[in-house]
Amino acid sequence: MARNAHKHAASATHWIALATCMALLGAALFVDFRWAYSSSSSSSSPPSATSAFWSLASNWALEKSGIIVFPDLGSRNESGDQLQEVRAQEDRGPGSDAKEKRDQGPDAKEKRDRGPDRFLSATYADLPAPDMKWEEMPPAPVPRLDGAAIQIDNLLYVFSGYRTLDHVHSHVDVFNFTSNTWGGRFDTPKDMANSHLGMATDGRYVYIVSGQYGPQCRGPVAHTFILDTKTKKWDKMPPLPAPRYAPPTQLWRGRLHVMGGGKENRHTPALEHWSIAVKDGKVLEKEWRTEVPIPRGGPHRACVVVDDKLYVIGGQEGDFMAKPGSPIFKCSRRHEVCRLVTIIE
């Protein structure tokens, strides 16, 4: 029971964090829309440069009635069947009123030239999009929370994590995308953290830094490791200058970068940013170099390099902390927030 309660508390936190993220994103989109709308309606005779705003504004108005309209560019060379289906939808859908206005309005000629519009429920407003379908994979060998995963070619390596708040894993499970099976389980080093790891790969070696050691809300360790995925051999790197929870970690310009994360008390966002030169699974320096701090720190961010730029995206600020004096470092709730985007060049 107690375990279940913890699990629910933990997943409730994640839902709250996720919901907050979505609310923020929603608010941002709304403001964006309002801005576009007022930009267009505040100028009495809009120059052509703002025509995009006009079409956005009229979409916005239609969207309020649950309908979105956009030029049906695709239907000009769509097969007759598809075209008929679109028209049938127009006629029986709640867009018929709008359709009449479109046929008679002052812009009718322009629209006739442009071809028929499609009226779709606002649910589909982001069409056209790739038709992606979800497919369920074989279940992972063990349940996990706050583990880490990294893909190398057709293999997905999934590291440690909590099984429950009172039990953590110390092994890696490997999923083979070719055979669609899990297999090849192997242990992590005894002194490697179990959750909140920082992790990056160069395609063969996996660099693993810091993280929380043990269950509940125990402290982090500064230990760092290199895994050779070809030989399954582990090696050590110099420890981080200070331990961190779930720091964004990435290889960039020949160096392993570690920035932000949660500080030793698990809650306070860290701003420090360190790097160390690495090559083919070997560390080329004796200690970590101090780099320009991250403007806003915290754990659980995505971190990628695209076009030689290092991006740190989203994530959390604040986290559960150990209850003061608790012999088992029992997790107790603290306020946490999530955020949108940070970019570093």
User: Residue numbers of the site for ligand NAG (CB under 6 A)?
Assistant: 77, 155, 176, 178-179, 184
Q: Which of residues 115 and 184 has its CB atom nearest to ligand NAG in the complex?
A: 184
Nearer CB in complex with ligand NAG: 51/154: 154
Shorter beta-carbon distance to ligand NAG: residue 44 or 77: 77
Dihedral (CA of 136, 141, 143, 145) sign: negative
CB of 204 to ligand NAG, least distance (A): 13
Burial code (b: 16+ CB inside 10 Å, e: under 16) for 21-53 equals: beeeeeeeeeeeeeebbebbeeeeeeeeebeeb
Q: CB of 177: closest distance to ligand NAG in angstroms?
A: 8
Q: How far is the CB of 172 from ligand NAG (least distance, A)?
A: 13
Q: Tokens at residue 27, please? A: 């608010």
CB of 74 to ligand NAG, least distance (A): 7
Where are the extended beta strands (E) located within 202-329?
A: 205-209, 224-228, 233-237, 249-252, 255-259, 273-279, 282-283, 289-290, 302-306, 309-313, 316-317, 321-322
For ligand NAG, the closer of residues 107 and 153 by Cβ is 153
Q: Beta 282-283 vs 224-228: how paired, if at all?
A: unpaired
Give whichever of 185 and 282 is closer to ligand NAG, judged by the CB atom.
185
Q: What are phi and psi of 34, to 5 degrees?
A: -60, -40
Query: What is the rounded CA–CA span in Å between residue 338 and residue 267?
Result: 13
Q: Which residue of the chain is nearest ligand NAG when measured via CB? A: 179
Closer residue to ligand NAG in complex, CB, 48/179? 179
CB nearer ligand NAG, residue 157 or residue 329:
157
Q: How far is the CB of 173 from ligand NAG (least distance, A)?
A: 13
Cβ contact 315:338 at 8 Å: yes
**Other CB atoms within 10 A of residue 79 CB:** 9
Quote the least distance from Cβ 36 to ligand NAG, whole Å: 29
What minimum distance in Å lies between the beta carbon of 73 and ligand NAG? 8
Strand, helix or coil for residue 182 = strand
User: The tokens of 161 are what?
Assistant: 């994590």
